Structure 1
């Protein structure tokens, strides 16, 4: 189930829900929340602390609860599931689509998942087991096995009759997919072509045999890239035997893109996963403490480097005032390159074949910017302190640190990737350590050499 980003209408509705909740107008809450999409109702639940969250949940119609549960962040959904009994969960989830069922059934208590399995017919149960056999972040884990298959040896009128008499047509319908007698994928049957051509036309004449399919083992991020590059609404999923086993639709891909974007933002702040804004304080504190501890170690390293120049700082107090400028400028320059590299790695634009070219490019950008800003900053410092040598010191240090920031911005994520560490999580901490230490050491070192030499 695709989740939506808040638009103006959504924000008004959620604002109205908060007002009604504050004023205790439960009837108004029930009317509004049952009249909006499940994804928007989920957004509202996620904005509430635990006690109010459960109060509002009770006002959601049973027919809407499954869609709401699927749209919730995992952490919020888990906290809600803990407070619901078996019957409530079964009633809420029994009518979900198979791909949505696969997303949520692993989070349900065992007795609930067993009851749901028993309530399905054998075909649906087998298809669900098929999806669950794949990793969640793979094409097989994303797909819906309920896919419209058409044979290439029938005519268009046969397919149209099949569609008319089929009880449930998967949504969004997208294209149909042609298969051979043993279920082997043959190509796409564009829906617009199917509806426009003569009913007596053989399906084999309108099949796009060049239309690619997605392998079931493909990672979710690659699936999202394929949809972006090909402007797909839906795509077939095949196994290693080229058999059509399901399809992925654009709503599933939107979820992947959204989750990847959220994960990147969280990791840049040193947070792995924190989907619940009102998670228990102790557990949230433990998660954040890890990266605070790592950051403390890096700060201590920088302080240790400064300690070598304690005598210099005592003699030239202005150095203590000015040295954060060099470290900050290097950090910003490095962060720009780091962000570019992490994005390139995520989109597949950065690989072993172009690292050297990227490194040369970023170093040249660092050299140009370092000289421009070194000249500007040195003029400011000379005017401020009436000391030419101080201007030279800060100019030299700025050149060194901006180039170091560019080098680190390229090499740090490459190094972390080779160590199987996510650069989005650790890259910022490592980069800051490098630019702080290089900035302080270069500035204080040049200061010792030029001012006190």
Structure 2
């Protein structure tokens, strides 16, 4: 979550503060923290071991707690807020955007979350409760309810006087939203238009239509795609009755994009994208054991295939030496396809209309690569081992496995997505199991048939 600062500077700061903590120079550390931006303190906390992190949190200015919590990874944030009193946590959320407060409260136990809400003033509590009523991964969970609305029947001069009286604008404001008497969105007025239009011009004459509003139940990944395609800075959010309920800003969308990227990267290793680098040993071991257990089952499936051909392996040492080549090549080729398909699914490039063409394309690539590498590796084996039969066996097995890998690389992510399993989490392991089983079966099966 925390923004990256310069690596050299970050490591140097961490080293200096760690040494100061070890030497008991707490006053010096407090002064250093006071000179740092909240985003940089968040980086420092995430990079610190748990004991040092707790000390640093105590030495940090409480006025910065809210901004720091908003930048922290979920596991780190949860560990810190679990030790804060409800009234202190409520104070920390003062001045934070509604969506950021909701992000902090969602991870708290229900009883603690209710206690924190009870400490807030009525207006803030109602705004946060509205945000909490929507699923976290939707536009409603992403939006901020701090929105400036105006009426279409007033002049530009009235709007300008209202803004001067208000004194400040919410962050990332690039437009004002025009609503009717029922708070239904009817248009938006960009600040550029507002500042360059004659004061006596009615807003209704210069506003843009509200044809780009986001529905409150839109998935956050779809929201990110809209912002990316249309280069928005902010966008209004409406309910099913076209009533304006909030707005989404580019900084929140950047967080979604970054979290999705981290999720995909960490899921491929079976890890939680918000896992604390310095989480307790037993907690980390427990999480990783689940993934390791799944991999054991996949490995046992491949081993059982080898066990079926134990006689062949005992009869020919060359087969045992070469048996890993075919599944390895299939795994690499298949994972390339899986990565491509997962990316296409995430970007919305793959659907019912084009999945057949993609399947045929990847099958053709698998067949073409299969022919190429089957011939090449077959020749190498014949020259190396001097056995033509062995060269033919590995060539046919290679062709078969690369062809199957191309098809499986498309089918597996699509099937996983259809049954609501994250392809990034399970796709690689499922593909490896398929290519191991198919590769070993083809290679050892052919060897058994031709040798005996």
TM-score by length of 2: 0.94
Question: Please, which runs of 5 or more residues in structure 1 have no aligned partner?
Answer: none
- Farther off after superposition, 359-368 or 72-81: 72-81
- Corresponding residue SS for 2:84: coil
Tell me whether 1:251 sits opposite 2:248 in the alignment: no
Q: How many angstroms apart in 1 are the aligned matches of 2:404 and 2:431? A: 10
- Farther off after superposition, 167-176 or 301-310: 167-176
Q: How many residues align?
A: 449
| Contact 1:183-1:244 at 8 Å conserved across structures | yes
- Corresponding residue SS for 1:183: coil
Closer, same or farther: CA 130–269 of 1 in aligned 2, 3 Å: same
Tell me whether 1:401 sits opposite 2:409 in the alignment: no
Q: How does 1:108-123 map to 2 (within 5 A)?
A: 108=108, 113-114=113-114, 116-118=116-118, 120-123=120-123
- Structure 1 partner of 2:92: 92
- Structure 2 partner of 1:12: 9
Closer, same or farther: CA 323–28 of 1 in aligned 2, 3 Å: farther
Shift of 1:5: 4.2
Closer, same or farther: CA 323–18 of 1 in aligned 2, 3 Å: same
- Farther off after superposition, 83-92 or 232-241: 83-92
- Corresponding residue SS for 2:259: helix
Shift of 1:119: 5.2
Residue by residue over 1:220-273, the C-alpha shift from the partner in whole angstroms, topping out at 9 and shown as x without a partner, is 111111111110010000011101111000111111111111111111112245
Shift of 1:109: 6.3
Closer, same or farther: CA 408–110 of 1 in aligned 2, 3 Å: closer
Q: How many angstroms apart in 1 are the aligned matches of 2:49 and 2:79? A: 11
| Contact 2:89-2:116 at 8 Å conserved across structures | no
Residue by residue over 1:122-154, the C-alpha shift from the partner in whole angstroms, topping out at 9 and shown as x without a partner, is 333322221111011110111111101111111
Q: How does 1:436-451 map to 2 (within 5 A)?
A: 436-450=436-450
Q: How many angstroms apart in 1 are the aligned matches of 2:112 and 2:412? A: 46
Residue by residue over 1:327-349, the C-alpha shift from the partner in whole angstroms, topping out at 9 and shown as x without a partner, is 11000010011111111111211
Residue by residue over 1:191-234, the C-alpha shift from the partner in whole angstroms, topping out at 9 and shown as x without a partner, is 11111121112111221115410000111111111111110010
Q: How many angstroms apart in 1 are the aligned matches of 2:290 and 2:408? A: 23
Q: How many angstroms apart in 2 are the aligned matches of 1:97 and 1:11? A: 32
Q: How many angstroms apart in 1 are the aligned matches of 2:33 and 2:402? A: 52
Q: How many angstroms apart in 2 are the aligned matches of 1:435 and 1:235? A: 45
Q: How does 1:34-49 map to 2 (within 5 A)?
A: 34-49=34-49
- Corresponding residue SS for 1:188: strand
Residue by residue over 1:49-85, the C-alpha shift from the partner in whole angstroms, topping out at 9 and shown as x without a partner, is 2110011112211221111112112211111122233
Tell me whether 1:415 sits opposite 2:409 in the alignment: no
- Structure 1 partner of 2:355: 355
- Corresponding residue SS for 2:209: coil
Shift of 1:160: 1.0
Question: Please, which runs of 5 or more residues in structure 2 have no aligned partner?
Answer: none
| Contact 2:2-2:73 at 8 Å conserved across structures | no
Q: How does 1:333-412 map to 2 (within 5 A)?
A: 333-412=333-412
Q: How does 1:181-196 map to 2 (within 5 A)?
A: 181-196=181-196
| Contact 2:269-2:425 at 8 Å conserved across structures | yes
Residue by residue over 1:71-101, the C-alpha shift from the partner in whole angstroms, topping out at 9 and shown as x without a partner, is 1122111111222334432332233222211
Shift of 1:167: 4.3
- Structure 2 partner of 1:332: 332
Q: How many angstroms apart in 1 are the aligned matches of 2:105 and 2:8? A: 30
Shift of 1:35: 3.3
- Corresponding residue SS for 2:247: strand
Residue by residue over 1:92-119, the C-alpha shift from the partner in whole angstroms, topping out at 9 and shown as x without a partner, is 2233222211211234466765565455
Q: How many angstroms apart in 2 are the aligned matches of 1:248 and 1:117? A: 23
Q: How many angstroms apart in 1 are the aligned matches of 2:420 and 2:163? A: 48
| Contact 2:370-2:403 at 8 Å conserved across structures | yes
Q: How many angstroms apart in 1 are the aligned matches of 2:80 and 2:120? A: 24
Q: How does 1:147-186 map to 2 (within 5 A)?
A: 147-186=147-186
Q: How many angstroms apart in 2 are the aligned matches of 1:387 and 1:114? A: 75
Q: How many angstroms apart in 1 are the aligned matches of 2:196 and 2:34? A: 39
- Structure 2 partner of 1:103: 103
- Farther off after superposition, 221-230 or 202-211: 202-211
- Structure 1 partner of 2:145: 145
- Corresponding residue SS for 2:187: strand
- Farther off after superposition, 140-149 or 389-398: 389-398
Shift of 1:354: 1.6
- Structure 2 partner of 1:30: 30
Q: How many angstroms apart in 2 are the aligned matches of 1:37 and 1:373? A: 55
- Corresponding residue SS for 1:58: helix
Tell me whether 1:57 sits opposite 2:57 in the alignment: yes
Closer, same or farther: CA 427–112 of 1 in aligned 2, 3 Å: closer
- Structure 2 partner of 1:134: 134
